[in-house]
Every structure is written in C-alpha cells, then in structure tokens.
C-alpha cells in the first residue's frame, strides 16, 4: 500500500507534467503558425502591389527570384517574348533565371505571348499560371512583325495600373528573346551609373556598329526606362508604323519621337553565342563580363553557357544525392 500511493501520486504528477508540456508545446506551435501566417500575408502583400488585370491579361508578381528586396531597389521587368507551345524553353528559362540572385534589384521574369488559340495550349498555360504565375497574355495575334512588341510595351502601363502599385511599377522594362540568357547581377551593375529616364539600352545592330544614335538595338534583348514605355503607349508615332521588323521599327519610333536620348551600347557584354560561321559578326567568345548571350538555340548551347558561368557551383551538399 505504502509503496503504491507515492507511485500513484508520481503518476498524477508526471501526468500533469506531460499535460503542461503538451499544452505549452501546442501553444507554441499555434503561436508560431499564427506568426507564420501573418508574416506570409505581409510578405504576399508586399509582393503583390498590383490588383487584378483586364480580362485577357494574366498578371501577378513573380516571387521566386529575389529574397532581399527593399523599396529602394531597382525594379526591372524582363519580358521574354515567346510562343505558347514553347513550354520546354520556358521551363529551362525558369531554371536559368530562378536560380539567380541579385543584390540591389528586383527582377520579375514574365513570359509574353499573344492570344492563346489552341485548346491544349490554353490548358497547359492555365496550369503554368497556377503554378508559376509568370505569364502575360496580350491582346494580339501571334505572327512575325505584326506589332507584338508594340502591344507588349503599350499594354504594360494599364496592366500594372492600380491604387497600391509602386510608382513607377518598374524602373526598366526589358524585351528579351527566348534564346537569350541574361545574367542579372551583371545587368544590374551595368545600370548603376545610367539614368533612370529616357534610357534605351542594348546591343546596337548592325554588328559592326558602335553608334547607338545612328542605329537601333537588336532584338536579343533591349531595355528601356519606364517613361519610354509610357511614351510608346501614349504617342501617335508608334501607331503610324506598327508593322515591320519589330526591333528596327522600335528604333525608328524613338528616333522620330526624339526619345531615348540616353543610350547605352552594351556590346560586347551582350553578344551571340560563339559560332563557327565566318559571317557571324555578332558573336563573341563566352567571357566573365557577360550580361547576355543570344542565339542559344540548342540544349547543348544552353548547358555550355550555363556551365561556363558556374551556375551550379553553389549546389548544397546533401545525403540525398
Ligand atoms: C536609395 O537609393 C539612392 C540612390 O541609389 C541612395 O542615394 C539612397 O541612399 C538609398 N536609400 C536607402 C535607404 O538605401
Ligand atoms: C540578404 O540580406 C542579408 C542580411 O542583410 C545579407 O547577409 C545577404 O547577403 C543578402 N542577400 C543578398 C542576395 O543580397
Ligand atoms: C483586342 O483587340 C481587338 C483588335 O485590336 C479589339 O477589337 C478588342 O476590343 C481588344 N480586346 C480587348 C479585351 O481589349
Ligand atoms: C484571339 O483568338 C480568337 C480565336 O481563338 C480570335 O477569334 C480573336 O480574334 C483573337 N484575337 C486577337 C486580338 O487576335
Ligand atoms: C491608371 O488609373 C488611374 C486611376 O484609376 C487612371 O486615371 C489612369 O488613366 C490609369 N492609367 C492608365 C495608363 O491606365
Ligand atoms: C568558374 O569557376 C572556375 C573554377 O572555379 C573559375 O576558374 C572560373 O573563372 C569561373 N568562371 C566564371 C565565369 O566565373
């Protein structure tokens, strides 16, 4: 008897201890999760400065690239003009861009296409939007030289217009090809001492030219400041020449409108992938100071380029592989 009673008390006591332990543990868990939800919603709130868009434009802010962004950061929209059926290229670009980190800037990568007309494409694009939220669908018809670039730039001010947006939504907007690989930190560093207004930046074409005022920027990828995006939307000059080789026509608008008075020729930090062809005058060997490489047409070229830039060097060690 004597020996059983204390053990019973001990039992109750340790039961109490267990109860309190679990109670506090549970409380802790609840507090932590509330905190997380709160943080997450604040986080999302900060990340989604733009409200819903027009019916045919799917938009939201891409979140996977920049962890440390402050309101003072340079905001860049990198729109990759591509086609709905190029799903595999988008996946490759998501990897190539999603694994880059940049200091001092926030770069949103979006894939841009016109009107999706095929049912199967509509379905996969819908899935992509649900999963990645990185697609812009413009009101245009997909075809070469029919004004997709115009629709891209001129649609942005309205698409990104909202009461709680940052002003401007982006400091710079890039139009890039889907066979171009941009290196974000190099791009951002090159912008550090350039004006945020009236800027037209890229690779001057023809290949031999080094004069950005005489010629225009190649379609591999060019960047303009936000005021030029707004000008494209509101000016009558672009509306007069909507058709034609898009990038050349873009250069003509700026010339005729006397815009882009700040020009920056990023040659030879931007160039075509090294080519064996003798007539490929726009190409250059891969080198560390690269901002963008163009004409990455095959998987081998992508792998060669990405491995040259050591993009997997920070792979974490793990017991799993
Ligand atoms: C914001 O950026 C400007 C110009 O780049 C700089 O002069 C200023 O110190 C920055 N402010 C903060 C809070 O980082
Ligand atoms: C993010 O911020 C932390 C602390 O301020 C800093 O240590 C880290 O290097 C930053 N990361 C990047 C990618 O800028
Ligand atoms: C799309 O463009 C066509 C022709 O350019 C126009 O008639 C139509 O109203 C536009 N649709 C929307 C939703 O803006
Ligand atoms: C979009 O595609 C539909 C067919 O699916 C077509 O009727 C419509 O005219 C297209 N809109 C534009 C602006 O090309
Ligand atoms: C943006 O929204 C404001 C207020 O709703 C409106 O006055 C302005 O015209 C809009 N701008 C564009 C480019 O749509
Ligand atoms: C890649 O890494 C190698 C070996 O560490 C180094 O020699 C090379 O300079 C790096 N390349 C670039 C572009 O940073």
Q: Which ligand is nearest to the CA of 191?
A: 1
Within a domain: residue 130? yes
DSSP state of 283: B
As beta bridge partners, residue 53 has none
| Ligand 2 atom with minimal separation from the 66 CA | 13
As beta bridge partners, residue 114 has 138
Q: What is the whole-number distance in angstroms between the Cα of residue 211 and the centre of ligand 3?
A: 38
Within a domain: residue 28? no
User: How confident is the model over 64-115, as pLDDT tens digits?
Assistant: 344 455 677 899 999 999 999 999 999 999 999 999 999 999 999 999 999 8
Q: Which of 139, 142, 148, 233 to mutate to test the pocket of ligand 3 (most atoms within 8 A of CB)?
A: 139
| Ligand 4 atom with minimal separation from the 117 CA | 5
Domain of 139 in residue numbering reads as 45-308
| Tally of domains within the chain | 1
Q: Which ligand is nearest to the CA of 167?
A: 5
Within a domain: residue 32? no
Closest C-alpha to ligand 4, atom 1: 115
Secondary structure (3-state) at 30: helix
The predicted structure's pLDDT at residue 167: 82
The predicted structure's pLDDT at residue 162: 75
User: How confident is the model over 134-171, as pLDDT tens digits?
Assistant: 999 999 988 777 789 999 999 999 999 875 667 899 99
Q: Is the CB of 314 under 6 A from ligand 6?
A: no
Within a domain: residue 131? yes
For 216: left if phi > 0, alpha if psi spans -120 to 50, otherwise beta; the answer is: beta
The predicted structure's pLDDT at residue 163: 53
Q: Is the CB of 141 under 6 A from ligand 4?
A: yes
Contact (CB, 8 A) for 175 and 276: no
Within a domain: residue 199? yes
Secondary structure (3-state) at 227: helix
Alpha-carbon gap, residue 101 to 97, rounded angstroms: 9
Within a domain: residue 314? no
Alpha-carbon gap, residue 317 to 282, rounded angstroms: 39
Within a domain: residue 26? no
Q: Is the CB of 311 under 6 A from ligand 6?
A: no
Using DSSP bridges, classify how beta strands 135-138 and 105-114 pair: parallel, antiparallel or unpaired.
Answer: parallel
Q: What is the whole-number distance in angstroms between the Cα of residue 7 and the centre of ligand 5?
A: 76
The alpha carbon of 94 is separated from its chain's Cα centroid by a whole number of angstroms, namely: 9
CATH code (residue 285): 3.90.550.10
Alpha-carbon gap, residue 232 to 147, rounded angstroms: 12
The predicted structure's pLDDT at residue 263: 96
Q: Which residues have a Cβ under 8 Å from the Cβ of 250 and sit 6 or more positions away? A: 149, 216, 217, 222
The predicted structure's pLDDT at residue 143: 79
The predicted structure's pLDDT at residue 275: 82
Q: Which of 308, 310, 311, 312 to mutate to test the pocket of ligand 6 (most atoms within 8 A of CB)?
A: 310
Tell me which H or E stretch contains 200: strand 199-202
Q: What is the whole-number distance in angstroms between the Cα of residue 232 and the centre of ligand 5?
A: 16
Within a domain: residue 73? yes
> Sign of the CA dihedral 199, 200, 203, 209?
negative
Tell me which H or E stretch contains 76: strand 74-81
Q: Is the CB of 310 under 6 A from ligand 6?
A: yes
Peptide bond into 168 cis (omega under 30): yes
pLDDT in tens, the chain (321 residues): 444 554 555 554 455 445 555 555 555 545 445 444 443 443 333 333 333 333 333 333 343 344 455 677 899 999 999 999 999 999 999 999 999 999 999 999 999 999 899 999 999 999 999 999 999 999 998 877 778 999 999 999 999 987 566 789 999 999 999 999 999 999 999 999 999 999 999 999 898 889 999 899 999 999 999 999 999 999 999 999 888 899 999 999 999 999 999 999 999 999 999 987 767 889 999 999 999 999 999 999 999 999 999 999 989 999 998
Alpha-carbon gap, residue 221 to 41, rounded angstroms: 35
Q: Which ligand is nearest to the CA of 196?
A: 1
């Amino acid at each position: 008897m004597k020996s059983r009673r204390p053990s019973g008390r001990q039992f109750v006591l340790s039961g109490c201890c267990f109860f309190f332990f679990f109670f506090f543990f549970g409380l802790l868990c609840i507090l932590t999760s509330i905190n997380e939800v709160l943080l997450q919603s604040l986080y999302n709130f900060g990340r989604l400065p733009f409200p819903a868009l027009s019916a045919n434009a799917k938009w939201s802010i891409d979140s996977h690239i920049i962890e440390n962004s402050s309101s003072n950061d340079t905001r860049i929209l990198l729109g990759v003009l591509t086609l709905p059926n190029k799903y595999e290229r988008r996946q490759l670009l998501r990897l190539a861009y999603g694994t880059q980190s940049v200091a001092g800037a926030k770069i949103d990568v979006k894939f841009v296409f016109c009107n999706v007309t095929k049912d199967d494409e509509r379905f996969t694009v819908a899935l992509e939007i649900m999963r990645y939220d990185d697609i812009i669908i413009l009101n245009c018809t997909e075809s070469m030289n029919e004004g997709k670039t115009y629709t891209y730039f001129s649609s942005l001010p309205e698409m990104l217009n909202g009461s709680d947006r940052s002003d401007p939504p982006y400091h710079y907007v890039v139009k890039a090809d889907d066979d171009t690989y941009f290196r974000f930190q190099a791009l951002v560093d090159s912008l550090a001492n350039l004006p945020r207004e009236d800027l037209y930046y890229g690779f001057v074409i023809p290949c031999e030219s080094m004069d950005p005022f005489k010629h225009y920027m190649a379609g591999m990828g060019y960047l303009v400041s936000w005021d030029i995006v707004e000008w494209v939307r509101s000016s009558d000059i672009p509306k007069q020449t909507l058709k034609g080789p898009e990038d050349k026509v873009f250069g003509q608008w700026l010339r005729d409108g006397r815009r882009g008075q700040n020009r920056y020729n990023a040659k030879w930090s931007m160039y075509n992938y090294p080519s064996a062809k003798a007539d490929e005058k726009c190409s250059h060997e891969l080198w560390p100071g690269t901002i963008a490489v163009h004409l990455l047409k095959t998987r081998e070229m992508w792998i060669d380029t990405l491995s040259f830039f050591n993009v997997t060097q920070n792979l974490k060690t793990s017991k799993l592989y």
